[in-house]
A and B are shown apart, each in its own frame.
Chain A
Amino acid sequence: MSNKLKSGMLSVLILAFVLAGCSSNSKSQSEQPAAAEKPKASTQEPAAPAPVSQELNWIIAAEVPTADSVKSYDRVSSSQIEIFAEGLYKIDGDNKTVPVLATGDPVISEDGLTYTIQLRSGLKWSNGEPLTAKDFVYAWKRLFDPNTAAQQASTYYNIKNAQAINEGKAALDTLGIEAVSDTELKVTLEYPDTYFTSSLTSVNLFPQNEKFVTEKGDAYGSSSENTLGNGPFNLTNWDGTGLTWSFTKNEHYWDKDNIKLDKINIQVVKEVGTGINLYESGAVDVAELSGEYISQYINNPEYVTVSALSASNVELGISSNKFLQNENLRKALSLVVNREELVKNVLIDGSLPLTGIVPKGIAVNPDNGTDFADEAGVLAKTDVEEGKRLWELAKQELGTDKITFELITSDHDAAKKTSQYLQSQFETNLPGLKIEVSNVPTKVRFEKMMSYKFDLALGGWTGDFDPVSYLNLFYSTYEHNHAKYKDETYDALITKIKTEDSVNPQQRWKDLQEAQKLALSKAVVIPLYQGASNYLIKSKVKGVVTHNLGTPLEITRAYIE
């Protein structure tokens, strides 16, 4: 072979390699939805004379795992499902439950077990097929069918036979839901539940079209073609794993006259800085803020903060560490934490100090509408002097001068900052205490907590509409009672709340408050802060509704001015 020939072959090889790469790309590129191309033109040069284009360019922080409302278990997918599907009720801007597909509040039987709900007539799926009460029955059965393996199923075990069905011990047909007629649903509960109507707003209880779902089989909810909705918009151009998709107006939606947007373009942007750059350039109408960006934008008129219903706590391994069984020691730990300082100077992310077990915004007093947390007041106080006093007392009682605790936390930014702050607070204020911080992946931290073997752990909890979903964490036999705390009075109170109080909302409220007070008087947990989500939203975008419960920003009724 001559040299020329060989070098010729070499270049052909390299070229072939490069071309092979190029061709496979140009294909994948053309598969990308063209949707995101248009927004740029429309936002960068707002068309002055014609009416404003009602096209919203929105970014979210992660991919959508599934568009199947029954299988959805995370915030991202439910935030997207709520755009193209709708249930019986929804949460409005004031955290109140309001009817959407239902015509009014449910009629509840005397014993609190039977709910009769009327549906609007003439409801349609986005493909034009009629939507009836049977579609709810189908979806709910599918939710509890063990073959579906829906991760959220246990949240709704208050529905009659739901748990038995989900565990394969009862037939699907025994589920407590029945389509009395096309527009009337009858739901039977296992036990009375004051917050059942609120839980009817969850995407997991949205209707599903049996014919469509059966036809798609396992692929249901894995792409826009394989998904059917009934909400304000239709999901389009979603390939199941991609970073872009869009929503177009659903002409079959019952309230379509109140939908002003023609199109919503969604783009997944994971890097906060990139989102902000896109926002500043006008390419998108929203950006999520985190970390240092929050303090940079906090005085911007377009800054929006929405507190989340999540509680971040220091969990105490009471059962696994004998020092933590000392009540004075636990109290001392809690007293030296300055929650105000933590959220204002350390986290700086819109979080609120948390001084109870139940965060703000969960539930209101049935008599006077006062928020649960507001009514409870400051239960976990900060008092460094008292903390120091109790610490010395505890050391005497325990007969030791030096105590070392491991503080186990996740390895994300906020957890690291919080753990460093706690370490300095504990060690400076409580002489003889040594804190060994270990920042580990969330799964590792969780496994340690679930094995009930840890000293201190930075944990969190997101409950649901009912304060008891937080208070249950210290019920002796609950598997997420990571402290394995056991107090008969407390257990009795929780049992009472779950059973006999169910038909007496006033008494239940009192007992809930009582239970929270009791748990914190024993310092079974150290509440730290209530998280928040922070955004920038363009001032031209109106009608965005913020929620503490569920999806922080609802955009279905938004419009552009």
Chain B
Amino acid sequence: MTFFKFILKRLAFMLATLFLISTITFLLMNFLPGSPYQNEEKLTPVQRQMMNEKYGLDKPAGERYLIYLSGLAKGDLGISLQFGNQPVSKLLSSRIGPSIQLGLQAMLLGTVAGIILGTISAMYQNSFIDTFASLSAIIGRSIPNFIFAVLLQLVFAVSLKWLPIALWDDGFRSTILPTLALAIAPMADAARFIRTEMIEVLNSDYAELAKAKGQSKVRIAFVHGLRNALIPLITIIGPMTVGLMTGSLVVENIFAIPGIGEQFVKSIVTNDYATIMSVTLLYSVLLVVIILIVDILYGLIDPRIRLAGAKQ
């Protein structure tokens, strides 16, 4: 029952958060210079005025916001002036798939690889393996992913011809290189976090006890240690996943993937108001949902962490 209450309360907070975010975005959007018309240098003042009336842009910001909200309540995200007045919902639904797939694949690959790397580092602290793993984590974190994308493309597609150079037409094979490019950062992050936590865990009394009982190093680390070392990682995994699922402008462009990442920049540059609102809301919805899931996960991973209100 308390769990149910907790969820309800959180949902209410989530709605309030989303409302705040959309209001602030709408406000900020009004400060963008220029109009959403891509051909504005050829529009006469009368034409511009008439188009503003047609798209409701002549109304004061407050009124426009109310119209937007009432449309949103009916599931209408508005139209994209960048894409010939097509509904933004169509743009999002046709573009979000590839981004989510790549994001989740990269997240899964990155965290699993990072956890393994981090744990091994911790197990052999200050050894050659540790130095090597830490170094690769630092390199992975400091080099931007488009450099990796271009490198991967050159090595595995152009030179070795193992995988497609780009394009989204070869099923899973098309996803391999972009996934690798995107996975580097989460891998590096996960490895760093896990290493730090794991070193602490492995020095704890219960790890010593397990060792005294004659358990193998690997078993101590992965079976006893990992669960305790995961908590901080879980915290960063949420926002990271959202970032990955909403696509990456450069990686999508380098591999010519029909994803949504580009719209986070392009909608702003082109003053495509409805698209700006929609991608911002999409990001926010994913973020608040993931944060909720993460909070629930805490409790599952470590029962000592009680849900809010559970003590009452």
Q: Is the CB of A274 within 8 A of B153?
A: yes
Residues of B within 8 A of A158 (CB): none
Q: Is the CB of A29 within 8 A of B171?
A: yes
Residues of B within 8 A of A283 (CB): 165, 167
Interface residues of A in 238-260 (CB under 8 A from B): 239-244
Chain A nearest CB from B262 CB (Å) reads 8
Task: Answer whether A25 and B98 are a contact pair too, CB < 8 Å, given A277-B153, A443-B32.
Answer: yes
Task: Answer whether A277 and B83 are a contact pair too, CB < 8 Å, given A65-B38, A154-B42, A444-B34.
Answer: no
A11 to B96, CA, bound (A): 25
Return the chain A residue nearest B82 by Cβ. Answer: A65
B86-127 to A contact mask, C-beta < 8 Å, 1/0: 100011001111101101100010000000000000000000
Which of A68-76, A126-134, A387-395 makes up part of the contact surface?
Answer: A68-76
Q: Is the CB of B46 within 8 A of A270?
A: no
14 contacts between A and B (CB under 8 A): A66-B85, A146-B50, A149-B54, A154-B42, A154-B44, A166-B47, A167-B50, A270-B253, A271-B253, A274-B165, A278-B165, A278-B166, A281-B158, A444-B33
8 Å CB contact of B84 from A221, A243, A271: A221
Residues of A within 8 A of B297 (CB): 10, 13
Which residues of A approach B to under 8 Å, CB–CB?
A: 6-7, 9-10, 13, 17-18, 21-22, 24-25, 27-29, 31-32, 34, 36-37, 63, 65-68, 71, 73-74, 77, 146-147, 149, 151-155, 166-168, 218, 221-222, 239-244, 267-271, 273-274, 277-278, 280-281, 283, 441-444, 446-447, 461, 479-480
Chain A nearest CB from B282 CB (Å) reads 14
Interface status of B281 (Cβ within 8 A of chain A): no
Q: Is the CB of A27 within 8 A of B97?
A: yes
Residues of B within 8 A of A21 (CB): 100-101, 103-104, 245
A65 to B91, CA, bound (A): 11
Q: Is the CB of A277 within 8 A of B169?
A: no
A149 to B253, CA, bound (A): 31
Q: Is the CB of B84 within 8 A of A222?
A: yes
Q: Is the CB of B256 within 8 A of A241?
A: no
Further 19 A-B residue pairs, CB within 8 A, beyond A24-B97, A244-B167: A7-B227, A21-B245, A24-B96, A37-B169, A67-B84, A73-B42, A149-B55, A151-B47, A153-B47, A167-B47, A242-B94, A243-B168, A243-B256, A271-B166, A277-B154, A277-B158, A281-B161, A441-B33, A443-B34
8 Å CB contact of A151 from B42, B95, B161, B303: B42
8 Å CB contact of B269 from A18, A24, A269, A443: A443
Chain A nearest CB from B291 CB (Å) reads 14
Q: Is the CB of B256 within 8 A of A267?
A: yes
8 Å CB contact of B166 from A27, A154, A274, A444: A274
The interface size bin for chain B is: 35 or more
A520 to B166, CA, bound (A): 48
A281 to B103, CA, bound (A): 28
Residues of A within 8 A of B42 (CB): 73, 151-152, 154-155
Best-surrounded residue of B40, B41, B51, B269 (most CB of chain A within 10 A): B41
Q: Is the CB of B54 within 8 A of A268?
A: no
Task: Answer whether A167 and B46 are a contact pair too, CB < 8 Å, given A28-B98, A244-B169.
Answer: yes
A37 to B227, CA, bound (A): 45
Interface status of B39 (Cβ within 8 A of chain A): yes
Residues of B within 8 A of A222 (CB): 84-86
Residues of A within 8 A of B267 (CB): none
Interface status of B209 (Cβ within 8 A of chain A): no
Return the chain A residue nearest B32 by Cβ. Answer: A443
Q: Is the CB of B33 within 8 A of A443?
A: yes
Residues of B within 8 A of A244 (CB): 167-169, 258
Q: Is the CB of A151 within 8 A of B168?
A: no
Task: Answer whether A74 and B50 are a contact pair too, CB < 8 Å, given A154-B44, A239-B94, A271-B253.
Answer: no
Chain B nearest CB from A37 CB (Å) reads 5
Chain A nearest CB from B304 CB (Å) reads 13
Interface residues of B in 221-260 (CB under 8 A from A): 227, 245, 253-258
Interface status of B301 (Cβ within 8 A of chain A): yes
Best-surrounded residue of A9, A37, A73 (most CB of chain B within 10 A): A73
